[in-house]
Every structure is written in structure tokens, then in C-alpha cells.
């Protein structure tokens, strides 16, 4: 990999990730690399400035923070095909990031990147837009939104809990009307996020599939669905015109939707590219460690592996 121009995004208002960012920027500049650096957070979005001010193709995005920081980077950088190296500094679970232990000797990391001693993992994303009127209307009334984890359609109100009524179609065929707290449309990457909290299935992040998971449905027959990646999921909010239903992408508000609108969700044209430094990268080990499954916590003297 050539490192001529690199983005460094660090978790906003986190002093530890900022210190690491400054150290990495200095080391890369000593290797004659041009660095664009800035904070990323709910009130800080450096990526439009990064992309607009780049004087040559961006070779790498180094993202220092947690999963939320990496999700933001993927939404902005995946369309440009920029590989992301996420490092868990200041984050919590770290499903999408390399451990800081893999990153302690940063000079060795740059050597590995220069010498192409790494792997690239490509993960599917979802795209969504809001349309008005009949299904024959294919002109969106919003911008195109991207998500690496999931899109969520659910109501929001400051003064009371709201039950939503959502009608869902798959490939133009009506499937069900859901009464409850909303719907989650997820990628395999997002299956270990909000989806698993709503009792959805966990899917290997190397798959291409779309999962639909109802949130607290008022019917025992409303179950999660796993769809092929080419499916188009359409969601129509029904009922009260005075209540605003929201479309969320990776936990971030996209837009409000109202009766008469529909949300179409499908597999995105682009994929997020992640750099993997771990030599023995295992999805199942990540599940054991991050979800604290019993095999990582309990040790028995009569275990069959002893």
C-alpha cells in the first residue's frame, strides 16, 4: 500500500484518541505522507472537508475510537472505496475495530501497510431513500442514506411512548402490518448491534443478507426474517398524522417520515473496506470475547480440552 495521503479521524472530546492521532500524524509525516486530521462525533463531521480538500487519492483512513466512530467513517468513505483501519481507543465493545494491543507499536503498523502485510475485509451496506405517493413514483424526496449496521423505522416523541403501525412489502408484495415499537432492517455486520438486542439472528459478517427484526411487536407471530441480498424492503407508516416516525441509520437520525411516505431499503452499491491486522482473525473469537459467552469466562477442571 502506498501511503501518500491519509485521513486520521479521532473520537471527538476524547483526549486519549487525540494523543494517538497526533502521534500517528507525526510518524506518517516523517514518512513523507500528507495527513488530514480531525475529530469525529455527533457534532463533528470532518469527512466532507477531508474529501473536498484531498489533493490526491486518499490511500487510508485511520479511525481512532469506538464502533460509532467507525460506522460514521464507513458511511462517508465507502462510496469512495477508501479502506478503513479502525482502532479501539476510547470505545467500548469494539466489534468493528482492531484492538489497541495490535496497534501499540505504530511504526511496525506502517511497515506492514507499506509491505502489504494485511488483509482487506469487504462488508455489505444498505441504502435507503424516502418516496412519496404510489409505488410507481420512483423519484425520492430525500437524499440517499447509507448504513453499515442497520436502518431503523420507529416513532419518536418527547412527551409519550408511541406505538407505531408499519406496513412492510418485500419486492412489491405486502408481507405484514407490524404494531409495536418499530422495525430494524440490518446487515450481517449489524446483526450483533441493535438487531441482537431485539432478539434478531446473529449472522456471519462475511455473508450478504438482509434481516428484518420487529421491535417489541404486539403479536407473537411477528418474527425476524432473513432475506437474500437482492431484496427490496418497503416500509409504509400508517395511522396518526400528528405523530412523526423517524428513519435512523446506524443509530443516527436520517429524516422524518409520515403517512403517504414509504422507505425503500436495499443492498448498497458500495461496500465498506476494513484493514485487518490480526494474523489469526476469527469472527467466532470476536463473538466469544465481545458477547462474553461462557467459554471465555468459566474454566472447569474436567473440561474436555484439559
Catalytically active residues, by annotation: 67
Cell of 277: 491486522
Residue 52 neighbours by CB distance under 10 Å: 7
Adjacency order of strands within the sheet including 210-215: 225-227, 210-215, 182-186, 150-155, 245-249, 252-257
CA distances (Å), 213 to each of 17, 193, 200, 216, 241, in order?
34, 12, 6, 9, 24
C-alpha cell at 89: 481507543
Residue 230 in grid coordinates: 437482492
Pure H helices in 115-263: 194-197
How many C-beta neighbours within 10 Å does residue 195 have? 26
Residues 62 and 9: beta-carbon distance below 8 Å: yes
Distance separating alpha carbons of residues 110 and 207, to the nearest angstrom: 30
Give the C-alpha separation, 204 to 31, whole Å.
Answer: 37
Amino acid at each position: 500500500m502506498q501511503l501518500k495521503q491519509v485521513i486520521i479521524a479521532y473520537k471527538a472530546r476524547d483526549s486519549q484518541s487525540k494523543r494517538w492521532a497526533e502521534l500517528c500524524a507525526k510518524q506518517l509525516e516523517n514518512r513523507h505522507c500528507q495527513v488530514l486530521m480531525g475529530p469525529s462525533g455527533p457534532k463533528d463531521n470532518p469527512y466532507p472537508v477531508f474529501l473536498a480538500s484531498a489533493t490526491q487519492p486518499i490511500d487510508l483512513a485511520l479511525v481512532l475510537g469506538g464502533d460509532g466512530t467507525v460506522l460514521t467513517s464507513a458511511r462517508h468513505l465507502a462510496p469512495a472505496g477508501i479502506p478503513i483501519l479502525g482502532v479501539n481507543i476510547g470505545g467500548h465493545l469494539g466489534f468493528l475495530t482492531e484492538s489497541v494491543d495490535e496497534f501499540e507499536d505504530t511504526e511496525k503498523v506502517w511497515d506492514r501497510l507499506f509491505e502489504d502485510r494485511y488483509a482487506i475485509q469487504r462488508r455489505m451496506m444498505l441504502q435507503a431513500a424516502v418516496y412519496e405517493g404510489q409505488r410507481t413514483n420512483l423519484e425520492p424526496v430525500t437524499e440517499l442514506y447509507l448504513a453499515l449496521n442497520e436502518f431503523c423505522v420507529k416513532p419518536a416523541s418527547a412527551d409519550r411512548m408511541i406505538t407505531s403501525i408499519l406496513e412492510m412489502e418485500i419486492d412489491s408484495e405486502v408481507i405484514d402490518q407490524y404494531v409495536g415499537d418499530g422495525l430494524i432492517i440490518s446487515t450481517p455486520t449489524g446483526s450483533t448491534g441493535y438487531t441482537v438486542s431485539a432478539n434478531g439472528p446473529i449472522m456471519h459478517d462475511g455473508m450478504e443478507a438482509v434481516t428484518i427484526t420487529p421491535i417489541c411487536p404486539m403479536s407473537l407471530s411477528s418474527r425476524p426474517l432473513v432475506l437474500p441480498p437482492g431484496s427490496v424492503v418497503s416500509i409504509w407508516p400508517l395511522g396518526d398524522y400528528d405523530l412523526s416516525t423517524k428513519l435512523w441509520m446506524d443509530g443516527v437520525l436520517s429524516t422524518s417520515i409520515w403517512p403517504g411516505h414509504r422507505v425503500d431499503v436495499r443492498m448498497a452499491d458500495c461496500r465498506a473496506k476494513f484493514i485487518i491486522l490480526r494474523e489469526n482473525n476469527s469472527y467466532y473469537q470476536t463473538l466469544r470475547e465481545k458477547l462474553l459467552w461462557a467459554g471465555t469466562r468459566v474454566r472447569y477442571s474436567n473440561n474436555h480440552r484439559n
